[in-house]
Structure formats: structure tokens, C-alpha cells
Chain A
Amino acid sequence: DAGVTQSPTHLIKTRGQQVTLRCSPKSGHDTVSWYQQALGQGPQFIFQYYEEEERQRGNFPDRFSGHQFPNYSSELNVNALLLGDSALYLCASSLVNTWELFFGEGSRLTVL
């Protein structure tokens, strides 16, 4: 049973560029949440998708957007990258209205 898979695992971008990160949820899960983890910090909630719609959003600017596909996989897009966007981006899947999140290994983004 495959867990949560994320791609790419590492990537380097320059300021002003755009990035797309991808996530496949654990089999049977219908909800995907995205988190940003800066160095030395805990994960910070970006947003959650369920039934292809953004269900809740954390305190992140509109440069951060997402999408969920009919097969429950999801993408996180970040436009106009800033140096401060350098972080580990974690995808977590779950069943709707449950607390236990299953996290992927993350995508490490470096912005130069």
C-alpha cells in the first residue's frame, strides 16, 4: 500500500520564478493538506483540498495556489518566488473530517 508520494524531492529555483509541486495521497484518502516547514520551525498549514475545492486556507499570500484532481492527487503552485519561500513543502492526506494526517517525505525547495 503506497503511502503519500511527493515530487520532486529537491529543486532549485531563482527569485521571481514559478514552481509546481505534486502529491499523490495514500490509497483511500480523499483529502490533501499542504504545509510549509522552514528550517528549525514546525510545519505551517497552507491549505486543504477536498472534492477538488479549497476547504480551508492558512495565512499565506495568493502567490500560493493549489489544485486537486478527480483522482485526489494535488498540486501546489507558488508564483513570483521569494528567498523566504525556501523550505520543505509537506503534503499530507487523510479521510475527510479525521484528525490523523499521513505525511509524505516532502519537496525541498531552494530559492536563490
Chain B
Amino acid sequence: DQQVKQNSPSLSVQEGRISILNCDYTNSMFDYFLWYKKYPAEGPTFLISISSIKDKNEDGRFTVFLNKSAKHLSLHIVPSQPGDSAVYFCAASYYGGSQGNLIFGKGTKLSVKP
């Protein structure tokens, strides 16, 4: 029973265009969400996060949007660069639990073509 779902295993985007990665969750207790990026042979690295009290958080080229009623969040990368090619994981947690206990999706592999 997957609580965090990333339904697109892969996404291909042209350099300079927008990349949109989607994530759905089923547990309404989740109130903190994170995106991690993973290159081959490296551990995941933190990218951006959002609390459920917000609906948008922006950091440079990266913006995360949260739609609580739809239990959906998305990561926008604008403009996309070839160095953004990696696997992106959506993760969720809740304040009542340990902050180290993140529930991850299966990931979406992003390919940005020059």
C-alpha cells in the first residue's frame, strides 16, 4: 500500500523548457513534504521542501506546489538544464512522527536533452 505515489517513472524535457514532476499521497496526516534528487552512484540530496500550511515554496529555479484538497504536489524546474538529469524522489512525513521517518515515492527519472 503505497502512501506516496509518483506515477511517471520517467520524463524527458528539452533544455530551457519547464520540467513538471508530480506526486500524489494518500495519508491525510502528512503535513511536510520534500523533494530529493539522486544521481547514479550517489546518495539522494535534498532539493526543496514545503509545509502543509503553505501552497507554494520557491528556491531559484525550483518551485514546489501543494494542493492539499487533491493530495497532490508538483515540482517545477524552470529553465531545465542538462545537469538536472537525475532521479527525483518525493517524500512525505508528519510532525507527530520522527523527522527522520520519511515516506518516499518510487521516483521519476528526468532526462533533460540539450
Query: A78 near B: Cβ within 8 Å?
Result: no
Would B46 and A102 count as touching, CB distance under 8 A? Answer: yes
A44-B107 Cα distance, complex, nearest whole Å:
12
Q: Return chain A residues, CB-CB under 8 Å to B34.
A: 99-100
Kindly identify, within residues 55 to 114 of chain B, every residue whose CB is under 8 Å from any CB belonging to chain A.
Answer: 89, 91, 93, 97-107
A90-B42 Cα distance, complex, nearest whole Å:
10
How many chain B residues have a CB neighbour from A under 8 Å? Answer: 25
**What band does the interface of chain A fall in when counting residues whose beta carbon is under 8 Å from B?**
20 to 34
Would B42 and A101 count as touching, CB distance under 8 A? Answer: no
Given contacts A41-B106, A43-B104, A106-B43, contact A99 B98 (CB under 8 A): no
Query: A33 near B: Cβ within 8 Å?
Result: yes
- Consensus secondary structure, chain A interface: loop
Question: Which residue of chain B has the shortest Cβ distance to A44 in the bound complex?
Answer: B104
Question: Which residue of chain B has the shortest Cβ distance to A41 in the bound complex?
Answer: B106
A96-B106 Cα distance, complex, nearest whole Å:
26
Q: Return chain B residues, CB-CB under 8 Å to A103.
A: 36, 43-45
Would B101 and A56 count as touching, CB distance under 8 A? Answer: yes
Would B101 and A90 count as touching, CB distance under 8 A? Answer: no
